[in-house]
Structure 1
Amino acid sequence: MTAPAARRGRPRSEDADERILQAAHELLLQRGYDRFAMDEAAVRAGVAKTTLYRRWPTKDHLLVALVAKIQDEVPVADTGDVRRDLVVYLTAVAGGLNRMRRVGRTAGDDPSAGVVAELVAAAARHPDVGEAVRALFARRNTLPLALLDRARERGELRADSSSAVLFDQLAGALYYRLLVTGEPIGPAYVAELVDQVLAGAGTATPNPERT
């Protein structure tokens, strides 16, 4: 038997990745997108600049990875009550979008889509960033789509309803408010949104607080 071929290069350090993403998060909250500096993120993380750029060649690539990490920290629970589960999940998503909206801005600033708008613009400008953004959402959205699939199997949704279309309505409304109208996306709006979408699927349970 021959010995296995040695792997070329040094293995990627998960600890370095974590420190870089943590430093990037802190820097983003303090400076915002425009004043975010890759070199400063490397210094804060205690890694060489070459280490950072080897992993993420631009700040857009790094911030896509950071958004992915933030999204992965939002749980998608399935308690058997699709309305409650969607409200809890989407309220957490809305909270994250609101925090990104405020990044780098002061109390007197006008409403802004902030980092999310910058990443959307970067995705349009750079095909590789766009591919990373689409891959991020495709991977993450498998969880709420599976939640909707299971709800249909339990009879909570119409048999002919589409999980993809339902989720497009829910997530699309949040991003429309964030990117286009600038309107608030708080818990009350999320609850009403979920009720309206589920009512369209023919299975919504009315919110007792509103009825």
Structure 2
Amino acid sequence: MNQARRGRPRDAQVDERVLRTAAGLLLERGYNGLSIDEVAERAGVAKTTLYRRWPTKDHLAVAVVARLQDDDGIDDTGDIRRDLTDYMEKIADALNRMRSAGRTAGRDDRSAGVVAELVAAGARHDDIGEMGRQVYARRNALALGLIERARLRGELRADLDAAVLLDQLAGALYYRVLVTGAPVDRAYAERLVAAALDGAMNRKEIPPCP
């Protein structure tokens, strides 16, 4: 009995072209200004091809952000305070980029912007929610590895729960963007990491008060 013919494999170049085009539109115009039809036209791809890959604008927007996030690495210099601050700053930069997407220049807008739309997309579509969890699982694994290595070399407490520490840090950034609208920048990342590590550092590593 003959096996059923498989569909044509996905063209990675098409995916790259579409996601790059969609990222440009999303950052320029915001979530409301993203159009699958316009992305297809600008990328030189048939609309049917796009809709097979990303059936809604929600799916395309989340795929764009997942791609952008996967490009952000985590450095391990052996200084957990510095490394976590650098990583929190990268998250803050990404959140600010999404928050300001499509915003009119000079406008004082404290809304969460695209960030809130992506959270809502995950609630609207189970598959998008799962995609988001997979993206964060990959990123969290890198951050948890960073924290675990610092724990093993004695820089952090032996009984530290790395997942709780990461939740404290990343959760605070998302809370400020999604709920309070307060700014997130390098200075805030430094204060956030310092406050979290005060309870996580191995006591012998905490410098004495002057």
Q: Does the alignment reach a TM-score above 0.5? A: yes
Partners of 2:28 and 2:113 lie apart in 1 by 13
Alignment of 1:98 with 2:84, yes or no, is: no
- Of 72, 75, 79, which residue of structure 1 is paired with 2:73? 75
CA shift at 1:109, angstroms? 4.4
Alignment-derived partner of residue 33 in structure 1: 31
Which structure 2 residues correspond to residues 37-186 of structure 1 after superposition, within 5 A?
37-106=35-104, 107-186=106-185
8 A contact 2:144–2:162 mirrored in 1: yes
**Change over 3 Å in CA distance of 1:137–1:128 after alignment to 2:** same
Percent identity for Structure 1 against Structure 2: 62
CA shift at 1:35, angstroms? 2.1
Corresponding pairs, count: 205
- TM score, norm. by length of structure 1: 0.91
- Which stretches of structure 1, 4 residues or more, deviate above 2 A after TM superposition? 202-207
Identify unmatched segments of 5+ residues in structure 1: none
Partners of 1:7 and 1:202 lie apart in 2 by 58
> Quick check: 132-141 or 33-42, which moved more?
132-141
Partners of 2:21 and 2:168 lie apart in 1 by 34
Alignment-derived partner of residue 17 in structure 2: 19
- TM score, norm. by length of structure 2: 0.91
AA at the equivalent of 2:50: L
Secondary structure at the aligned position of 1:200 is classed as coil
CA shift at 1:86, angstroms? 0.9
Partners of 1:85 and 1:160 lie apart in 2 by 20
AA at the equivalent of 2:155: E
Map Cα deviations across residues 28-85 of structure 1 (whole Å, 9 max, x no partner).
1222101211111111111111111111111111111111111111110111111111
Secondary structure at the aligned position of 1:78 is classed as coil
Instruction: Please give the root-mean-square deviation of Cα atoms over the aligned residues, in Å.
Output: 1.9
8 A contact 1:195–1:206 mirrored in 2: no
8 A contact 1:42–1:49 mirrored in 2: yes
Identify unmatched segments of 5+ residues in structure 2: none
Secondary structure at the aligned position of 2:107 is classed as coil
Alignment of 1:191 with 2:182, yes or no, is: no
Partners of 1:9 and 1:61 lie apart in 2 by 21
